[in-house]
Amino acid sequence: MNIRGWILVVVVLLCLIFGGVSYNRLASRLPHTIAIASGSEAGQYHHLAQELKEFLKLEYPRITVEIKTSNGSAENLDLIKEGEVQFAFYQNNSRSQTEEASNGKLKDADRTDGEVRAVANLYAEVLHIVVRKSTGIETIRDLRKVNVSVGPKGSGTFQIAAQVLSHYDIRMDSKRMHGLDFAGILSAFENGKIDAAFIVTRNLSPTVTNLLQTGKYDLLPIQDTSALAFKNTALFSILLPRTVYSGDPPIPSQDTQCIAAKASLITHQQVPAFLVRTMTQMALSSSFRKQLRELTEDFAREEQDFPIHRGATDFYNRGEPTFSSSVAEALNDTLPYLLVLAILVIVVGATLRQNSVEKRRQMSARLYEYMAQVGHIEADQRGEWTPHQLLRLLDLVSRIKKRTVDDRIEGRISAGNEYVAFMVQLAGLINTIQSKIFMFSDRRTDKPPQDESLD
């Protein structure tokens, strides 16, 4: 096998080794456990987290998927930043509005969230202000007089409730304000402990639907949605049409102006791109979004609180000629192995080249040795020779020719121009010696043979 063949074999073997190492490195980046931060078990976040869990179990059956309950959006954001979970549900209104209860300043964590990445907006979370009909509550200002649930601290509901109540100069630290989750709201309404509740969830969610269809409650309109949206661009106005929850009695009893924020899925920038791409694909699959009417790819990508993760970008740009982040991650992970591979190829190539040069030198030296022997014979045969001496000389030249041909066949001499010239030289010398032998035969001399020593 020539040098090119050896180099090809070495490169193929190294590539196979590199491919195996790369695959193992990529597989090792897949976590053994994937944690998803949801919210309370009765909330929409938890329900959607359960669906994503089932999708992930089908895609990665060897991975354990855990759902971590929480107080909601703000806590989920902290869990992402602390690396406690890989994915979390989040309300886009939560980032800039999280405040320290003690001094009203933004948390340091909220100013250092550069590693948080967006995956997709999922649906519009609408603020439903549910009030007991018997209380006579007609405007938000009336909430000063009654017990109100504003959602657990750290939840998206709490953030929006704080903005709405602040707009109407209603203090959040009132003894009448309660931080209840969905299950707590239902119980508190039944026990008469609260008269109103801020509930942020998607339209026609089972929790709100079941509550309103009891006929005991109605929705309180928000008159200043434009002003609230102006103060915080993460919020937008939305109109709930009369009877959307029930027709008899009509709930709401009239078209009700509300505000909403986008519920989204977030992750950490260190989560592998291929895993985030898979999660994005699942979130935008037809089976997952069948209950999320507004979820389209345009809705999923627009106006995020955080930069979109490179894995999600790969999915959104799947029809465009872009360099895959998953491939980039694999290359980044295997860069040391690529460098080792390159060094090995260079070393092996240099070694084989050096061996080839040395072999060619040896082949040339062997040919030059034969050429020197023949050169001496060619010079000597010009003197006076007897027929018997010429026959011995012809036999010697023939043996040199045979050794030269054998060495060529065995690869000890290359078939270059020098070899061809040497074989022509040999052929010419053989013809010359044979001609001299024939000349002696033609004379038919009867002289006894001379001293035939070649020495």
pLDDT of 113-165, one tens digit each? Answer: 789 999 999 999 999 999 999 898 999 999 998 999 999 988 889 999 999 99
pLDDT value of position 10: 66
Last residue of a domain, one of 311, 333, 355: 333
Any idea what the CATH number is for the domain that residue 89 is in?
3.40.190.10
Q: Token pair of 152, please? A: 């657990």
pLDDT value of position 422: 84
How many domains are there within the chain? 2
Last residue of a domain, one of 305, 333, 361: 333
Verify that 216 and 350 share a domain, yes or no: no
Verify that 247 and 100 share a domain, yes or no: yes
The verdict on residue 454 lying in a domain is no
Q: Would the CA dihedral through 394, 396, 397, 402 be positive or negative?
A: positive
Verify that 102 and 156 share a domain, yes or no: yes
Verify that 177 and 323 share a domain, yes or no: yes
Stretch among 36-45, 125-134, 174-183, 358-367 having the lowest mean pLDDT: 358-367
Last residue of a domain, one of 333, 353, 388: 333
pLDDT value of position 427: 87
Verify that 309 and 362 share a domain, yes or no: no
Instruction: Output 360 or 326, whichever has higher pLDDT.
Output: 360
pLDDT value of position 1: 56
Any idea what the CATH number is for the domain that residue 359 is in?
1.20.58
- The crossing angle, in degrees rounded to 10, of helices 387-409 and 335-380 is 170
pLDDT value of position 98: 45
User: Could you read off the pLDDT of 293-348 as tens digits, one per residue?
Assistant: 778 899 999 888 899 999 999 999 987 655 555 555 555 656 676 677 777 777 77
Verify that 311 and 433 share a domain, yes or no: no
Q: Provide the residue range defining the domain that includes 86.
A: 31-333
The verdict on residue 22 lying in a domain is no
The verdict on residue 452 lying in a domain is no
The verdict on residue 26 lying in a domain is no
The verdict on residue 195 lying in a domain is yes
Verify that 366 and 308 share a domain, yes or no: no
Whether pTM > 0.85 for this model: the answer is no
Verify that 266 and 377 share a domain, yes or no: no
Verify that 302 and 381 share a domain, yes or no: no
Verify that 284 and 379 share a domain, yes or no: no
For 215-233, what is the mean pLDDT?
Answer: 90
DSSP states of 76-96: HHHHHHTTS-SEEEEETTSTT
User: Could you read off the pLDDT of 157-186 as tens digits, one per residue?
Assistant: 999 999 999 999 998 878 899 999 888 999
> Which helix (H) or strand (E) is 380 found in, with range?
helix 335-380
Verify that 310 and 351 share a domain, yes or no: no
DSSP-based three-state secondary structure for 88: strand
